[in-house]
Structures are given as C-alpha cells and as structure tokens.
Amino acid sequence: MSRLQIMDTTIRDGQQSLWATRMSIGDMLPILPKMDRVGYWAIEAWGGATFDSCMRFLDENPWDRLRSINAATPNTPLSMLTRGQNLVGYKHYSREIVNRFIKASKRNGVHVFRVFDALNDIRNVVDTAEAVNECGGHFEGAISYTISPVHTLDSYLEYAQQLKELGADSICVKDMAGLMTPYRAERIVKALNAEIGLPVHLHCHYVGGMAPANYLKAAEAGVSIVDTASAPLAFGNSQPAVEMIVAALQESRYDTGLDLDLLFEIAEYWEEVRKRSHYKRGVSSLIHMQVYSHQVPGGMMSNLMSQLEVQNASDRLPEVMKEIPRVRAEVGYPPLVTPMSQIVGTQAVFNVLTGKRWGVVSKEMKDYICGYYGKAPGRIDPEIMKKVAGNSQVLPDDVPPSSLVTTTYDEVAEEVGDLAQSEEDVLMYALFPNEARTFLSKHRASEKVDFLMQEESSNIK
C-alpha cells in the first residue's frame, strides 16, 4: 500500500507559523465537520504554543478548546506537539507533572503525541514516552532535523533507534527550519525504513520553497505520512498546501485519494477568515530563501526582528544573521528550534549590540552551557565554557536534567488552592503559573457573578 497519508496542520502549526497563534476556537468550529470528512491521518490540533497563547491572548481555556475540537471531529484522530520534558512550556517539568499532563491530554481528546527534544537528547523524552505508552496513545518520536558537522545520517538513525526502544509507534523527521532538500529527504526516509522499520512521517516548513519537492522524493522513498496545511494558511513559514500535494500525486501510485473539491471548499472558508482578520499570506522572501546558508527558521527570524526593533537597531539584522552560525558552532551546534532558537538568537543580538562578544549572557544560555537543558549535540568551545560557566555547577552527563525537578502535583494543587476546580486547572497552573492565575481568577469571578444572578432571579419568582 503506497498511498500517501496526510496530517493537517492548519489549526496548530499553520496558524502558529503565520498568524502568531491568534486563531480562536470560534474560527475553527464551523469548518471542523468538513475537515473531519477529508480522511486525514490526523488533524494536528493542540500543543506547541497554542496552550499558553489560548490563555494569554485569547482568554480561552486550552482544555475546553481541545474538548470542543474533539467533539467536532469524531472520525479523525487529533494530534498534539509536545516538547518532551518541557511539555508545552519552556522549561523542564517533573516526572509526575509530565505523566499527569499526558494522561489528561489523552483523556480530553489527543490520540497522537508527537514528542521532540530540541537537542535530540533521549533523556528528555523518556517520561513523556512512558506516559503516552501507558495511556494507549500513539507515540510519535520526532527527530529535530538540522545541518551541522555533528548531525549526520548515522546520528539521526541512532536517535531513531533510541526512540524505537522507548516504544515509538512512528518516527517523524521534523524539519522546523526548512533546511531539508529533496535528495536528503529521500536518503533519510530510505535509511529509516531500512534500519528502523517504523512508519516515517515527514514534517517540513515551506520557508525557501523546497518542501513540496521533499515530499515527492520522500513519497518515492516510502514515507508514510506528510504534513500540509489548507492553502490560506500554507507556504512561507508554514507547511506546503494540501491542495498542491494532493494534486501533485493524483494518478501516481502515491495518490492520497483525498477529494480536491472538498479541500477547496475548506480553503475558501479559511480564506474568508484570513481576510476578515487581516492576516498576511505565507510568502517566501529572499531572506527566507537564504535559510539554506544562514539556517535561521522563520519563526526565529520574526523574533529577532522584534528584538532589534525594540532596541531601534533593525538595521543590524545582517550582522546578527552572520553572528548566529558563529554562536551556534561555539555552543555545540544545537538545532535551532524552541527553546534553543531563542537562546542562540538572543546571544547573537547581545554580541552584536554590545560590541563585546559573550560580554552579556542570558540565564538561559548559561543554563544550557551548564547542561541543564540536556546534552549539547557537539563540543562546546572550552573558552566560552570557562567564561560563561565560571565556578557554576556543570551538570555531569550521567545526571538527567529532569531529575533535578521534583515538584509534586500535590504541591502545585496546594499553591493554586480553590482557584483550580479540576486536575486540568492544576496542570495549567503547574505549566504557566502567572497566566493560569490571571485566567482562573477572572473566570472564577465571572462564575460567581453568574451564580449570584441566578440566585437573584430564582428569589424573584
């Protein structure tokens, strides 16, 4: 069976890549029944930055959002992106919090868990993998794909083997920066099929425009699933358009069998939403194309631009772009994906704006260099190590960073107190205490007002 399967990323990665994660549940619900009829392998609906931005910008409860999407898509499994030990946050959480969060996600509607670690450090995936396997979810182990002297086909195969040993059901090659090229895609898919033997799922960002060609070569090499988005939320920093991939494979042995007319009806709906909300289309510019030399992902680029604007230093972008690969090499070539993209990017900005390299160092960069995020893929420059770490405690390789986080669920529940009415509320607070407190306080207050109104009206009778 060589038919290619498709996962739809429109409501998670598409909107996160192009609309700054501002899509509301009200925009999603009307079209979900049609998306449910397409026959997608899964709909990526949750995780990544959607969890905190729900509370932060949209005044929505992320758990309610998940339940609503699940109710509207009875025929299609839902997928979420989780950052291993970081879950959907930006730091390590304890084993117990990870375990409860994954099980709560499954209970509320997630079936496929795509689990990645920014450093491809398997120790940061163990707790999540165990929880997914225990609750009967589909564990998709993801490889953060990048290019560097230490990232070789062999290193990826070795990591994929470690994921398989943790019980992965499929392996995803996650090309978050759009660095993949067609013949590299063919090579890695063939090798994974031959050596690992699990279904291979390819996730490419369009960025410089290679992704559709990557998908064609990957299909020929035996890839099982690829990621696409509806055309109005495709291209640029997002994924390729589903309509384009479906049309490209028609009448081939990889024909997806999906209905183009139905896909265009769905696209028309999203196009209306896009126009109404004044969102730009995904477009590839020259600086996007240059990803093949500077290796900076699109999302990271927009962060850098806003950091520089705040400092009135937008004109220094070319210098920062030159500085990024230099910093990345000095700290052992981490893949530029959350949170490493922010950590490396910020350091490059400091180096350029202060005019003194490594004069100012963020706490996050220091923690990374000391091993608290996991093991660097390559060797960290000894001079930088000495300068940044100084006399600080450097974590030995045999101590997993997650073992230092011992917060228990009960401690968090006690801290949040009556604001939390459910395990989901407590978990929300465990991950994002400030945002959750603000959100829950506001909603508890309005519930009280509603309750008093009902009391009043029942007294009137």
Q: What is the pLDDT of residues 371-405, one digit of tens each?
A: 999 999 999 999 999 999 998 889 998 999 999 99
Asked if residue 263 lies in contact with residue 243, where contact means CB atoms within 8 angstroms, the answer is yes
Does residue 429 carry a pLDDT above 80? Answer: yes
Residue showing tokens 């979900």? 32
Is-same-fold flag (5-276; 296-403)?
A: no
Least confident of 176-185, 303-312, 329-338, 432-441: 303-312
Question: What's residue 288's pLDDT?
Answer: 83
Separation in Å, CA 419 to CA 58, 103, 433:
20, 22, 12
pLDDT in tens, 317-339: 999 999 999 999 999 999 998 88
pLDDT digits (tens, 9 = 90+) for 275-296: 999 999 999 888 888 888 878 8
Exposed e or buried b for every residue in 265-290, given b needs 16+ CB within 10 A?
A: ebbebbbebbeeeebeebebeebbee
Q: Right CATH number for 296-403 from 1.10.540.10, 3.40.190.10, 1.10.472.90, 1.20.120.610?
A: 1.10.472.90
Mean pLDDT calculated for residue range 26-52? 97
List the structure tokens of 349.
Answer: 């900005």
Say whether pLDDT at 72 is over 80: yes
Question: Which CATH number is 5-276's, of 3.40.50.150, 3.20.20.70, 3.40.50.620, 1.10.40.60?
Answer: 3.20.20.70
- pLDDT above 90 covers what percent of the chain? 87
Specify the pairing of strand 110-115 against strand 138-144.
Answer: parallel
Delimit the domains of the chain by residue range.
5-276, 296-403, 409-460
Region 102-122: mean pLDDT is 98
